[in-house]
Amino acid sequence: MPELPEVETVRRGLEPVMTGQRLVRVEQNRPDLRFPFPPRFRERLEGQSVLSLGRRAKYLLVDLSSGEVLIMHLGMSGRFTIIDPTQKQSPGAFHHDTGGTALHDHVVFHLESGAHIIYNDPRRFGFMDLQPRHSIETSRHFKSMGLEPLGNELNGDRIRTLFEGKKAPLKAALLDQSLIAGLGNIYVCEALYRAGLSPKRRAGTLSSPRGVMKEKADELAKIIRDVLNEAVEAGGSSLRDFAQTDGSLGYFQHRFRVYDREGKNCLTKSCGGVIKRLVQSGRSTFYCPKWQK
């Protein structure tokens, strides 16, 4: 379930296992995922040490001793599984215990510690790339990327500026990675619900300098940060299981207030509305028509 909080959870799970480790061997089981792997992918990784693990929006960034950065995106179905023989494993927890290669295991990183990390991605919407560290900001994945929602940059003023004059629905504007980078379908629905804003409203209406909308952009900015931070913390609480599970359990899903709740009652106190589903730019939007205006 890789939106920003899930990617951050993955980063935190991989960090203690990979940091300072040399990549002794890399298996690459097919020529491409969403895009072809970069030329000499394995050769450029093998023998390098991992200096640190970072994240930008939904991208994982592995800083290597070669001066290159391994850029990884999980797409819709990408998952990492850590196999660490020095750690005890819960019995029968995982098919990888056999040491065999499971279907859709596309890349395996072998570390000098003896641990290895498997990248599995049935739909192959994920991808991996290598770019020099000094030019990462101008590389094709990042050059037109919007601001980081969990940094200090996101506030009401930035939202007002970014959305000024926009006729696109608010839902679409929040999903636009060139404006704010990292929000996905679930957390946009959740944030709009908490803010009481209709996903169908024109994004530009948040830029109004006066009237009832004056403070709404400030409120939305805070809510976006809150929703993401809560989800990161919920993911963090599941990190204990990171190495042994297949990651299919949603960390945060039992906390959804609106996502995937079509036909259920609106949880806003005394609202009495019913959650509706509609399709915007090809994706499901869940919202309460009575409460979100």
CB of 46 to DNA, least distance (A): 26
Region 241-270 residues binding DNA, contact defined as CB under 7 A: 250, 253
Q: How far apart are CA 53 and CA 169, in angstroms?
A: 35
- Rounded CA-CA distance 251/7 in Å is 12
139 binds DNA (CB under 7 A): no
Q: List C-alpha distances in Å: 139 to 4, 39, 278.
A: 20, 16, 35
- Applying the rule CB under 7 A, the residues between 168 and 187 that interact with DNA are 168-169, 172, 175, 177, 184-186
- Segment interacting with DNA (CB under 7 A) among 83-91, 108-116, 122-130, 154-162: 122-130
Distances (CA, A) of 120 to 2, 66, 293: 13, 25, 41
Among 48, 131, 280, 292, binds DNA (CB under 7 A): 280
- Let me know if 2 is a catalytic residue: yes
- Taking the C-alpha atoms of residue 289 and residue 293, their distance in angstroms, rounded to an integer, is 7
In whole angstroms, give the CA distance from residue 190 to residue 246. Answer: 25
- C-beta of residue 215 within 8 angstroms of C-beta of residue 34: no
CB closer to DNA, 110 vs 201: 201
209 Cβ contact partners less than 8 Å away, ≥ 6 residues apart: none
By CB under 7 A, is residue 3 in contact with DNA?
A: yes
Pick 84 or 262: Cβ nearer DNA: 262
The catalytically annotated residue of 11, 55, 58, 79 is: 58
Compare residues 57 and 64 and give the one whose CB is closer to DNA. 57
Give catalytic status of residue 58 as yes or no. Answer: yes
Provide the mask over 19-58, with x wherever binding to DNA is found by CB under 7 A and - wherever it is not: ---------------x----------------------xx
Catalytic residue list contains 283: yes
Distance CA 247, CA 253 (A): 13
The alpha-carbon radius of gyration of the chain (Å, integer) is 21
The residue with tokens 């641990």 is: 115
Residue 123 in contact with DNA, rule: CB under 7 A: yes
Return the number of the residue (155 or 284) whose C-beta is nearest DNA: 284
Q: Is 6 a catalytic residue?
A: no
Binding-site size for DNA (CB under 7 A) equals 36
- Which two tokens mark 46? 């093998």
Residue-wise DSSP of 51-111: EEEEEETTEEEEEETTSEEEEEE-TTT-EEEEE-TTS---TT--GGGG-PPPTTEEEEEEE
- Is the separation of the CB atoms in 193 and 288 below 8 Å? yes
Cβ distance to DNA smaller for residue 23 or 217: 217
Interacting residue with DNA among 222, 225, 283, 290 (CB under 7 A):
283
Q: Which residues are identified as catalytic?
A: 2-3, 58, 283
The binding site for DNA (CB under 7 A) comprises: 1-3, 6, 34, 57-58, 73, 75-77, 103-104, 122-125, 140-141, 166-169, 172, 175, 177, 184-186, 250, 253, 280-284
